[in-house]
Structure 1
Amino acid sequence: MKIYIAGHRGLVGSAIVRRLQAQGADNLLLPSRDALDLTSQAQVEAFFERERPEQVYLAAAKVGGIHANDTRPAEFIRDNLVIETNVIHAAWRHGVKKLCFLGSSCIYPKFAPQPMREDVLLTGALEPTNEWYAIAKIAGIKLCQAYRKQYGFDAISLMPTNLYGPGDNFDLTNSHVLPALIRRFHEAKLRGDAAVTIWGTGSPRREFLHVDDLAAAAVFLMDGYSSDAIVNVGVGEDLSILELAQLVARVVGFEGAIATDPSKPDGTPRKLLDVSRIHALGWQARIGLEEGVRSTYAWYLEHADARRGA
């Protein structure tokens, strides 16, 4: 089967490639960004017409943490809308049998009941610091549902919780919280700092899923799920940002103090997914958080020279 992974060099896309290759897939379409600009409708159309993939994993997206989302909102909504529209439309036009759209748990309302069920989508206001990205991802879900309703296109949508793992972005200005903490505590340990200060109060609670678990879920659902109903992908457990910082400090070996900075934004108070739907389908996450953080830190150390933002 010819399979196209859009965004194959990113955190999610590279994990999907690893999973498919481990299962014996040997006909993967992995064009570089230079060879295929997903914001160009003409290039995307030409690629699909030429290659005719049978399956598509849409993992390409413009992503970043609170600071990046809050300071570059136009880029986050524009680029993601264009990528989704180009790929989904071209996939349908050129006979793709199935498409998997990767969304995000930030699509849910800021004050959604916890844990968040899939049916709370569009029932309340979004978190203001990343609403631009969230609206683009919601539009991607609706594109998949609309193409299924009007054309019978087999597109499914997965909503992963906060992700981490090998290939993550460790840049301190635009990365997500877990890789940023790994880098900050590692560098603080090397300098011999007495303390590390984390953004916000440390009280917000977050759920973290290893990206290899997400890849396993995506392939599992592509093989056996077909519905317009979105599917949460997570572990069903969370912890506070302060508890996460303490875990990372322990893994890294930083022995100083951990302080909080309440003047910085906390973001959404809690983001925990209800994963009963995917559990009922027969899938559960397997990689524990401390195990995952240890392997991610090891990857970070091994790729010190090549890591993004170094």
Structure 2
Amino acid sequence: MDKSSRIYVAGHTGLIGSAVKRALERGGFADVITSSHRDLELTDALAVERFFDSVKPEYVVLAAGRVGGIVENQTYPADFMNTNLAIQLNVLRAAHRAGVRKLILFASSCMYPRDCPQPMPETALFSGYPEPTSLAYAVSKLAGMQMCLAYNQQYGEKRFIPVIPNSAFGPNDNFDPKSGHVLSALIRRFHEAKETEAPSISLWGSGNPRREFIHADDIADACLALLEGDTSQLQFPLNLGTGKDFSIRELAETIANVVGYAGKLEWDTSKPDGAPRKLLDSSRLLAFGWRPTVDFTAGLKTTYQWYLDSMVTQGVQP
């Protein structure tokens, strides 16, 4: 891949897609293509085929899809499956027809069995049942990953690369407490509790489950390394994590400190915890030469600042 290569980033306004776009622009890549929902509906197969025929991308980063927290997953499971399956099927098929040199598909650590060896190796996929609270999403992402492997197997070329990042965070995240993931949702909840001087805040579950978090900029750096490097000898899929995890209780306390909320944290154990632990074994990608560089607390601070700045930009009192 050279600086003039035509690269299509699907989902460029989202958390991971926007980070990939920034990384490509910082790297001097001059022909980065994006599309908005208004211009291209990725669930429309014919529209996607026409788009690929028109722009003729050489490389594709598929970071588009429907994501959300436990409540969203349990409320709209059919929507999660319909949207994600359609996007993956349409983009992979169009990319194959267009003869793209490489495609990176971002899957999810939700795909792993609930009861899984820790850290979770890629070989543990399909060895058990995923966490029920995010089952529909997990199955849709498993299908996308398997489609990549199927294209590679059937056509004898390892062009489609499924990558499994753990819980991502950073600028352009979804901070809605109802639909966002735990880290971004907590940032907003603690900020609002601080602003209203709430004496306490109620949090779901026991606080004991452990999660691994990775900044979107680290994910983007790994993406560029895979696009530019020789991936012919790699075994797919590839886990993408930092190798460090935190309990949800530790996460909440750290975010409260970053935000400046001094009230009491109350844990509602009547609410579900989700999977007990999700730590990835990223040895395959580490052996390839990639390393995470963003410090967790520093990343939290910049993410919180982005949240504050975005509220001002949108004319909303943060």
CA contact (8 A) 1:156 1:228 kept: no
Q: Aligned residue for 1:180?
A: 185
CA contact (8 A) 1:157 1:228 kept: no
1:74 aligns with 2:81: no
Partners of 2:315 and 2:46 in 1: CA distance: 32
CA contact (8 A) 1:155 1:228 kept: no
Question: Could you tell me which of 270, 284, 291 is aligned with 1:263?
Answer: 270
**1:159 counterpart letter in structure 2:** I
Q: Aligned residue for 1:254?
A: 261
1:152 aligns with 2:156: yes
Shift of 1:32: 1.2
Identical-residue share of aligned pairs (%): 48
**2:256 counterpart letter in structure 1:** A
Q: Which runs of 5+ in 2 are unaligned?
A: none
CA contact (8 A) 1:169 1:307 kept: no
Question: Could you tell me which of 103, 106, 120 is aligned with 2:107?
Answer: 103
Q: Aligned residue for 1:281?
A: 288
1:304 aligns with 2:311: yes
CA contact (8 A) 1:170 1:307 kept: no
Q: Deviations over 1:119-148 (max 9, x none)?
A: 000000110011111111111111111111
**1:110 counterpart letter in structure 2:** R
Q: Aligned residue for 1:113?
A: 117
What is the alpha-carbon root mean square deviation over aligned residues? 1.3
Shift of 1:307: 9.2
Shift of 1:152: 3.1
Question: Could you tell me which of 14, 18, 31 is aligned with 1:14?
Answer: 18
**1:296 counterpart letter in structure 2:** T
Question: Could you tell me which of 6, 11, 30 is aligned with 1:26?
Answer: 30
Question: Could you tell me which of 146, 162, 166 is aligned with 1:161?
Answer: 166
Secondary structure of 2:311's aligned partner: coil
Q: Deviations over 1:246-294 (max 9, x none)?
A: 0000000001111100011100000000111111111111111111100
Partners of 2:70 and 2:211 in 1: CA distance: 14
Question: Could you tell me which of 205, 228, 253 is aligned with 1:200?
Answer: 205
1:231 aligns with 2:238: yes
Partners of 2:147 and 2:243 in 1: CA distance: 27
Change (3 A) 1:307 1:120: farther
Partners of 1:221 and 1:234 in 2: CA distance: 15
Change (3 A) 1:228 1:151: farther
1:243 aligns with 2:247: no
Q: Deviations over 1:147-169 (max 9, x none)?
A: 11112341111100000000100
Q: Which of structure 1's runs of 4+ aligned residues deviate more than 6 A?
A: none
Question: Could you tell me which of 73, 79, 83 is aligned with 2:87?
Answer: 83
Q: Aligned residue for 1:214?
A: 219
